């Protein structure tokens, strides 16, 4: 299975209740990794983009907690865009993928669950360098 084929939307459990809905995400159960870090993006100005980098090992799950945004994934061969706009769907992104997050709606909040702690050595900030590494990785 190619890296791009591993990128997929995950339907998260949704528990209906008259008092409000509840969704649960458990590492190793609903996502294929143990969760080591959680962060979120918010108050992103219109027209701004976030991410714009690749990772070697890091796996992530992106969830639109509020509003919507697009996640663009790139394996060095092809690009694919996912629109996230429901809090009960998550986009799984494996390692060796370039990712960009853009087109935030007003009030959009992007929750990210990560498989590793922050490590500068895991990042590619130069797209051409990432593509060269992705072609060697295959």
Report, as residue numbers or ranges, the catalytic residues: 53
CB-CB contact of 4 with 73 (8 Å): yes
- In the sheet that holds 89-93, the strands lie side by side as 8-11, 89-93, 60-66, 109-114, 37-41
Tell me, rounded to whole angstroms, the distance of Cα 100 from its chain centroid: 9
Tell me, rounded to whole angstroms, the distance of Cα 54 from its chain centroid: 11
CB-CB contact of 23 with 88 (8 Å): yes
């Amino acid at each position: 299975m190619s890296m791009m084929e591993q990128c997929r939307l995950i339907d998260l459990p949704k528990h209906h209740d008259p008092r409000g809905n509840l969704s649960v995400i458990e590492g190793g159960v609903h996502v294929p990794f143990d969760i080591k870090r959680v962060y979120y993006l918010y108050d992103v100005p219109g027209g701004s983009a976030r991410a714009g980098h690749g990772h070697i090992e890091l796996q992530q799950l992106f969830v639109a907690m509020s509003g919507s945004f697009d996640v663009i994934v790139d394996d060095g061969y092809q690009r694919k865009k996912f629109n996230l706009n429901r809090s009960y769907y998550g986009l799984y992104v494996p390692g060796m993928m370039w990712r960009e997050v853009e087109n935030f709606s007003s009030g959009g909040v992007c929750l990210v669950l990560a498989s590793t702690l922050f490590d500068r050595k895991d990042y590619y900030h130069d797209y051409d360098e990432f593509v060269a590494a992705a072609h060697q990785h295959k």
